[in-house]
Amino acid sequence: MGRIRLNQEYRNKIANRMRVHLEQEDTQEKQKYDELKANQIELNDNAWNLAEQIVRKHYTPEDVKMAYHLQNKFENVSTIAKDSCFHFHYLGTVEDRDYDNNPITKEKNIEEHFDFRLNGSFEGDDSNSYSRDNAYGYALYRDELKAQDNCNPDILIEQEGKDNNPHLTKYTDANNKYLGDNDSGYGKQWNLKYQLDLIGREYCRDRSIACTQEQFMMLKQWKQAKGQFVIAHRNWIKSILEQMNKVVKPCLKGWKYLDEAIDFAKKAGLDISDAEIIRTNSTGLALYNPENAVQMLNSMKNKKVKTKAEKIAERMAYMQQSTVAN
């Protein structure tokens, strides 16, 4: 039986299987993402408890009760509603210049917006398009989005640096629809958990609430921690995309026969067969030897760091083998 030639369908199938395989590998980037993901609920709960403490000092339970009483009694009174975002401020100092252009220090309210909704803002790298608010929900509910046929939690990373396009819009719309907002899905569950009765106008900017500098900085750290989690998701997926774009896809494009691609996949740790690829539904001269391609792929990974004890054990085993051999 002759060798089976690689066509585009087979290349796509193997590439998709390799992408899944690479996502399952226990690399440093994946470890960091998993570690930070495990902390997110506690992180948000702690920040929310602090925010609630600040708000309730300003709008006491008695104030809230009275506001609801007046709003229910008079039709023209609309002064209280539930909200999840706040402007907090503390009295700080800033550098300035006097009329003679001499440096001076003066007092000023240092203010910032803190949004506890699922798509609330975070502090990330503003230099790239991935620093958008939806990225947090995509990172947190990645497994749930990945399980949906029409969703892609990594789309913002894959499309980073590109202009808006139909492909990007298709998946962001599907992701956002699945996650939901105030009316449905995970967004509704999340936003209901993090909301308080607030007195004042409709917009949170109109009701900046005073807090201490220490409280303010703790909430800043919360926003930064959210951003670090989003960046961990980005770094993990970027490492996979680099392997796919620099090794896997060029190799698949260059190989001529299916058995070359299967050999590469097996050496990379993915156990598939030509029958499996043919059974499921997707030229030129060979550019890479499968053995070399695997070495290139492995060199691009930041594998799990071995502990000191593991290194010592490996060294002892090596010395024992050397002794036996001699």
Residue 293 lies in a domain: yes
Backbone angles phi, psi at 55, to 5 degrees: -65, -45
Q: Is residue 74 part of a domain?
A: no
Is residue 291 classed as helix, strand or coil in its secondary structure? helix
CA dist., res. 56 & res. 54, Å (int): 6
CA atoms within 13 A on the CB side of 74: 8
Question: Degrees (nearest 5) of the Cα angle 262, 265, 269?
Answer: 135
CB 181 within 8 A of CB 191: yes
Residue 30, pLDDT score? 97
Q: Tell whether 155 is covered by a domain.
A: no
Residue 40: HSE in the Cβ half-sphere, 13 Å Cα cutoff: 23
C-alpha 98 chain-centroid distance: 45
- Residue 314: per-residue pLDDT: 59
| 173, part of any domain | no
Q: For position 80, what pLDDT does the model report?
A: 87
Question: Does residue 59 belong to any structural domain of this protein?
Answer: no
Quick one: which of 87, 102, 159 has its CA closest to 129? 159
| Long-range Cβ contacts of 187-193 (<8 Å, 24+ apart) | 187/117, 187/118, 187/119, 187/137, 190/117, 190/118, 191/84, 191/117, 191/118
Closest CA to 203 of 115, 325, 296: 115
Q: What is the pLDDT along the chain (326 residues), one digit of tens a residue?
A: 689 999 999 999 999 999 999 999 999 999 999 999 999 999 999 999 999 999 999 999 999 999 999 989 998 888 888 899 999 999 999 999 988 889 999 999 999 999 999 999 898 655 444 547 899 999 999 999 999 989 999 999 999 999 999 999 999 999 999 999 888 999 999 999 999 998 876 656 467 899 999 999 999 999 999 999 999 999 999 999 999 999 999 999 999 999 999 999 999 999 999 888 888 654 223 344 566 566 566 756 666 555 656 656 655 665 565 455 44
Q: Is residue 246 part of a domain?
A: yes
Burial of 89 (C-beta count, 10 Å sphere; 0-12/13-18/19+) = middle
- pLDDT computed for residue 285 by the predictor: 30
Number of domains the chain is built from = 1
Dihedral of alpha carbons 291, 293, 297, 300, sign: positive
pTM of the entire predicted model: 0.82
Note whether residue 159 is domain-resident.
no
In a domain, 199, yes or no: no
Residue 285, domain extent: 8-28+238-325
